[in-house]
């Protein structure tokens, strides 16, 4: 019997937790630098991630009773233009090197996609440790992370606000209250369940503190999660529901003028901080953050909220997918005057040709049809591009979670 014949794919259960984490510990030794870039400065990062196997759908290859390749899919939800989608969060991906180049991960991912399809998880997100690897399997970039650095003398002047800021523990309920309201309004954001919150806090420092802004009626309207180390104030995330809360939180940050020399952190929107500051001569770096892929194009389109433009739109498209056979072929896309979409199998000459990666980033509005056509990712004519521009909402994806 060959080595490949000995291998069996099956569910990874809670009793395999030690093996699951040993495999991750080994694999993450290779990607420790990436983890440190995602995490925090000057802290020891535990290489073993401890996902909750009872809540995740975990698949693995076993050589006898030895777990040698694995991936996990978390049951998450995301807001796409105001519509809540079931999302499969792919994580915990790894294979021991002596079992590499056997097609094991390809088969695991293919099975995971079939399982997500059955569970109606029509879209999947992941944090990429290799963009080319995941692009070849149908995922594409859908969000950015902007890193900034502001010197103390560049902090904004105090702005008059009617509310106030309280410093609170990070587990305070008002933080969840603000985020829940924020994510219900923010395109592409995670709708955090308990598992998502656990993952959100997983890599955080004990010194992490919350500053919550309350309006004149004592309602929470925003928060800043931060810590101070070696004269530097670090942002984890600033969330605000209105400009008053934003001003109030920055007033709080500016009040540290005599205590810190710099403020550094991350922003997950498309608004450069430099324009908002009086002194915009700051350091800002934009880098791609999360990737996503549509799992089942027909299911996704049936739920996707197209822009209602008052007339029907009909297009014939040819779609390709490197892993999911059900997404391959020629399809008829019908979007009603009210913005309701339907994708059905069709025949004949397509008016547009694209792959699942391009369809994903286009429908999430990370890249627009005009740009995708210009770079050759969307093969079509000007008329179809204009039709797609008209029916796809325009908003920048926001995603600040990490799993």
Does residue 271 sit in the same domain as residue 302?
no
What local confidence, expressed as pLDDT, does residue 41 receive?
A: 39
Token pair listed for 245: 């809360």
Instruction: Strand 341-345: give its sheet, edge to edge.
Output: 341-345, 329-335, 313-320, 352-355
* Average pLDDT of span 375-392: 98
Taking 80 as the threshold, does the pLDDT of residue 329 lie above it? Answer: yes
Q: Does the residue 82 lie in any domain? A: yes
Does residue 162 sit in the same domain as residue 256?
yes
Taking 80 as the threshold, does the pLDDT of residue 40 lie above it? Answer: no
Does residue 227 sit in the same domain as residue 307?
no
Nearest to residue 311, comparing CAs of 402, 390, 217?
Answer: 390
pLDDT tens readout for residues 289-326: 999 999 999 999 999 999 999 999 999 999 999 999 99
Does residue 73 sit in the same domain as residue 195?
no
Does residue 172 sit in the same domain as residue 237?
yes
Taking 70 as the threshold, does the pLDDT of residue 52 lie above it? Answer: no
Distance CA(59)–CA(11), nearest Å, equals 5
Does residue 282 sit in the same domain as residue 305?
no
Which of 255, 288, 321 is the endpoint of a domain? 288
Does residue 265 sit in the same domain as residue 283?
yes
Which of 288, 312, 328 is the endpoint of a domain? 288
Token pair listed for 133: 């690897």
Does residue 223 sit in the same domain as residue 272?
yes
Among left, alpha and beta (phi > 0; psi -120 to 50; other), residue 371 is alpha
Distance CA(29)–CA(25), nearest Å, equals 6
Nearest to residue 300, comparing CAs of 144, 145, 138?
Answer: 138
Does residue 331 sit in the same domain as residue 317?
yes
pLDDT tens readout for residues 210-265: 999 999 999 999 999 999 999 999 999 999 999 999 999 999 999 999 999 999 99
293 burial class (0-12, 13-18, 19+ CB within 10 angstroms)? buried
User: In this structure, what CATH number is given to the domain that contains residue 74?
Assistant: 3.40.630.30
Q: Does the residue 204 lie in any domain? A: yes
Rounded to 5°, angle at Cα 243 from 170 and 283: 75
Q: Which one has a higher pLDDT value, 386 or 198?
A: 386
Does residue 262 sit in the same domain as residue 153?
yes
Distance CA(122)–CA(88), nearest Å, equals 8
Q: Which one has a higher pLDDT value, 18 or 139?
A: 139
Q: Map residue 163 onto helix, strand or coil.
A: coil
Query: Hunting for tokens 């547009």 — which residue is that?
Result: 352
Confidence of residue 29 (pLDDT cuts 50, 70, 90): low
Q: Does the residue 100 lie in any domain? A: yes
Q: Does the residue 130 lie in any domain? A: no
Which of 229, 262, 288 is the endpoint of a domain? 288
pTM: 0.91
Q: Does the residue 129 lie in any domain? A: no
- Report yes or no: 57 and 164 within 8 Å, Cβ to Cβ: no
Length of the chain in residues, anyone?
403
Distance CA(212)–CA(234), nearest Å, equals 16
Q: Map residue 183 onto helix, strand or coil.
A: helix
pLDDT tens readout for residues 155-165: 999 999 999 99
Q: Does the residue 133 lie in any domain? A: no
Maximum CA extent, the chain: 76
Range of the domain at 333: 293-391
Q: Which one has a higher pLDDT value, 177 or 25?
A: 177
Does residue 30 sit in the same domain as residue 101?
yes
Q: Does the residue 140 lie in any domain? A: no
DSSP string, 230-294: TTEEEEEEEEESSHHHHHHHHHHHHTTTTT-SEEEEEE-SS--HHHHSSS---EEEEEE--EEEE
Does residue 298 sit in the same domain as residue 276?
no
Cβ-Cβ contacts under 8 Å for 191 (sequence gap 6 or more): 76, 77, 78, 79, 84, 183, 184
DSSP label of 223: E
Distance CA(292)–CA(397), nearest Å, equals 11
Taking 60 as the threshold, does the pLDDT of residue 35 lie above it? Answer: no
Which range among 20-29, 89-98, 253-262 shows the weakest confidence by mean pLDDT?
20-29
Taking 3-state DSSP, the helix, strand and coil percentages for the chain, each rounded to the nearest 5, stand at 30, 30, 35
DSSP label of 4: H
Token pair listed for 100: 């590499």
Q: How many domains does the chain have?
A: 3
Instruction: Output b/e per residue, 75-90; b: 16+ Cβ within 10 A.
Output: bbbbbbbeeebbbbbb
User: In this structure, what CATH number is given to the domain that contains residue 300?
Assistant: 3.30.1050.10
Alpha carbon 302 to its chain centroid, in Å, reads 22
Q: Does the residue 24 lie in any domain? A: yes
pLDDT tens readout for residues 94-143: 999 999 999 999 999 999 999 999 999 999 999 998 999 999 999 999 99
């Amino acid at each position: 019997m060959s080595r490949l014949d000995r291998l069996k794919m099956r569910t990874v259960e809670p009793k395999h937790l030690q093996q699951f984490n040993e495999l991750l510990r080994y694999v993450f030794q290779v990607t420790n630098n990436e983890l440190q870039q995602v995490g925090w400065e000057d802290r020891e990062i535990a290489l073993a991630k401890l996902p909750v196997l009872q809540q995740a759908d975990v698949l693995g290859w076993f050589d006898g009773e030895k777990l040698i390749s694995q991936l996990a899919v978390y049951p998450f939800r995301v807001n796409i233009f105001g519509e809540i989608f079931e999302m499969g969060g792919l994580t915990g991906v790894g294979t021991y090197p002596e079992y590499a180049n056997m097609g094991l991960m390809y088969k695991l991912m293919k099975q995971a996609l079939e399982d997500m399809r059955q569970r109606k998880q029509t879209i999947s997100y992941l944090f990429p440790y290799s963009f080319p690897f995941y692009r070849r399997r149908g995922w594409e970039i859908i969000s950015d992370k902007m890193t900034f650095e502001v010197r103390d003398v560049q902090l904004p002047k105090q702005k008059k606000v009617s509310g106030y800021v309280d410093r609170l523990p990070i587990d305070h309920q008002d933080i969840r209250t603000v985020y829940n309201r924020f994510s219900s309004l923010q395109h592409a954001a995670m709708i955090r369940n308990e598992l998502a919150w656990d993952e959100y806090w997983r890599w955080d420092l004990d010194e992490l503190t919350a500053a919550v802004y309350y309006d004149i009626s004592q309602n929470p309207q925003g928060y800043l999660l931060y810590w101070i180390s070696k004269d530097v104030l670090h942002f984890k995330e600033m969330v605000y529901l209105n400009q008053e809360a934003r001003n109030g939180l920055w007033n709080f940050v500016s009040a540290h003028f005599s205590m810190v020399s710099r403020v550094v952190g991350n922003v997950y929107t498309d608004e450069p901080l430099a324009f908002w500051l009086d002194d915009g001569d700051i350091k800002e770096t934009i880098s791609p953050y999360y990737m996503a892929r549509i799992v089942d194009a027909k299911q996704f389109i049936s739920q996707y909220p197209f822009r209602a433009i008052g007339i029907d739109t009909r297009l014939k498209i040819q779609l390709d997918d490197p892993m999911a056979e059900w997404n391959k072929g020629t399809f008829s896309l019908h979007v009603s005057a009210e913005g309701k979409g339907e994708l059905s199998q069709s025949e004949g000459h397509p008016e547009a040709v694209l792959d699942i990666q391009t369809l994903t980033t286009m429908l999430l509005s990370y890249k627009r049809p005009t740009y995708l056509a210009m770079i050759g990712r969307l093969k079509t004519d000007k008329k179809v591009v204009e039709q797609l521009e008209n029916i796809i909402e325009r908003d920048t994806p926001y995603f600040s979670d990490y799993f």
